């Protein structure tokens, strides 16, 4: 049966990883058996749905927000549910289990430059299979799922759809929702096996350049580390060929790129931020995603969606946690006037 999206849908439902980040600022990342000094520590949100929804709430999104997933029956799980209540995020689809602890990550962030390294406990997220998520009970317009490759039960094989995540995305589309996915950055060969099957049931695919390259096999960085815009565009095209229905967005420190199903390309440079402004980059990708989803939900032109993405990412960079640097939308957009975008990205032909 063909889905009927309907004009009465509104809001973002995000499911997947619910994580508490323990962010530790360190002077240097040490070699084995060496010491690093922790200068300060903070606690924050982690995981695609948690970060994106809190970012949208902090931006002042004028539409409903809801989460789905699994936390432990412990203090961190209670903390996540209380945080959802504080940000007016509907948590009816977030269950608590006694079978695993709430997922957490130790984020080691180097004070100079904000480079971070993650030590992750998968916890309850590994058990979430989405079977309790009934899309007939939501009026959300967009379902955002992440992170693929970091949801053990979702990454398992499904005989009909390829993976359990693909099956869940197919169910969301069948119920009339637009679907969006994100994946985790890992150095492995699992991308084509786990990410590719899901793309047939995705409307908006939002990845960074590493993830896009790993999924499609293109090297998006040249040997000197600069962006290969030809490979970038090929990767976007390959993702569309894998089945993405409407839009591929690829983000990277230099900015963002989008290609639509009808072949329209859009480029947006990131903001020219001074080094002292950057406190940590842990949440920048999800912040970019939140900005783009905000615009897509509201029906903005694609160029404005990308600009909003880089501005929200820039706001996120001002704080070592994933979401506490993000404020109201107007404040994020004002960063483009204060710092100005970098020179335009020049596509190579």
Query: What is 12-337's CATH number?
Result: 3.40.1190.20
Question: 3-class SS at 233?
Answer: helix
- H, E, C per residue of 312-337: HHHHHCCCCCCCCCCCCHHHHHHHHH
DSSP 258: E
pLDDT on residue 347 = 66
Q: Which residues of the chain have a pLDDT value below 50?
A: 1-6
What is the 8-class DSSP label of residue 274?
-
pLDDT number for residue 2: 42
The pairs formed by 191-197 with CB atoms below 8 angstroms and a separation of 24 or more are 191/149, 191/215, 192/217, 194/148, 194/149, 194/155, 194/163, 194/165, 195/148, 195/149, 196/162, 196/242, 197/161, 197/162, 197/163, 197/165, 197/166
CA dist 196 and 212 (Å) reads 11
Residue 90 · residue 64 · CB < 8 Å: yes
pLDDT at 193: 93
Contact by Cβ (8 Å): 9, 139? yes
Q: Which helix H or strand E contains 84, and what residues bound it?
A: helix 75-86
Q: How far apart are CA 174 and CA 172, in angstroms?
A: 5
**Residue 238 and residue 262 in contact, taking contact as beta carbons nearer than 8 Å:** no
Segment holding 197, helix H or strand E: helix 191-199
* Nearest in space to 281 (alpha carbons), one of 110, 50, 58: 110
pLDDT given for residue 348 in this prediction: 62
Per-residue model confidence as pLDDT tens digits over 156-203: 999 999 999 999 999 999 999 999 999 998 888 899 899 999 999 999
Rounded Cα distance between 203 and 199, Å, is: 8
pLDDT of residue 270: 98
**pTM for the full predicted model:** 0.93
User: d(Cα 45, Cα 104) in Å, to the nearest integer?
Assistant: 9
């Amino acid at each position: 049966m063909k889905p009927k999206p309907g004009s009465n849908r509104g809001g973002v439902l995000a499911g997947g990883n619910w994580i508490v980040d323990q962010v530790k600022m360190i002077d240097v990342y040490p070699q084995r058996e060496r010491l690093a000094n922790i200068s300060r520590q903070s606690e924050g949100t982690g995981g695609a749905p948690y970060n994106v929804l809190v970012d949208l709430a902090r931006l002042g999104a004028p539409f409903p927000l809801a989460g789905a997933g699994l936390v432990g029956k412990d203090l961190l799980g209670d903390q996540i549910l209380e945080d959802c209540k504080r940000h007016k995020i509907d948590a009816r689809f977030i269950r608590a289990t006694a079978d695993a602890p709430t997922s957490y990550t130790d984020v080691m962030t180097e004070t100079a430059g904000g480079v971070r390294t993650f030590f992750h406990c998968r916890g309850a997220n590994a058990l979430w299979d989405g079977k309790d998520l009934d899309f007939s009970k939501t009026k959300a317009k967009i379902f955002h799922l992440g992170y693929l490759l970091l949801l053990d039960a979702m990454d398992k094989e499904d005989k009909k759809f390829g993976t359990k995540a693909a099956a869940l995305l197919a169910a969301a589309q069948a119920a009339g929702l637009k679907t969006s996915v994100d994946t985790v950055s890992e150095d492995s060969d699992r991308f084509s096996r786990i990410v590719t099957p899901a793309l047939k049931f995705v409307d908006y695919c939002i990845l960074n350049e590493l993830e896009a390259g790993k999924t499609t096999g293109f090297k998006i960085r040249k040997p000197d580390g600069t962006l290969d815009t030809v490979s970038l565009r090929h990767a976007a095209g390959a993702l569309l060929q894998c089945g993405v229905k409407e839009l591929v967005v690829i983000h990277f420190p230099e900015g963002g790129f989008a290609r639509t199903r009808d072949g329209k390309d859009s480029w947006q440079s990131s903001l020219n931020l001074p080094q002292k402004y950057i406190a940590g980059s842990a949440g920048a990708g999800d912040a970019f995603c939140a900005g783009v989803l905000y615009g897509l939900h509201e029906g903005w032109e694609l160029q404005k969606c990308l600009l909003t993405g880089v501005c929200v990412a820039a706001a996120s960079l001002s704080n070592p946690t994933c979401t506490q640097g993000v404020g109201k939308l107007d404040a994020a957009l004002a960063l483009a006037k204060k710092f100005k975008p970098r020179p335009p990205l020049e596509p190579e032909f």
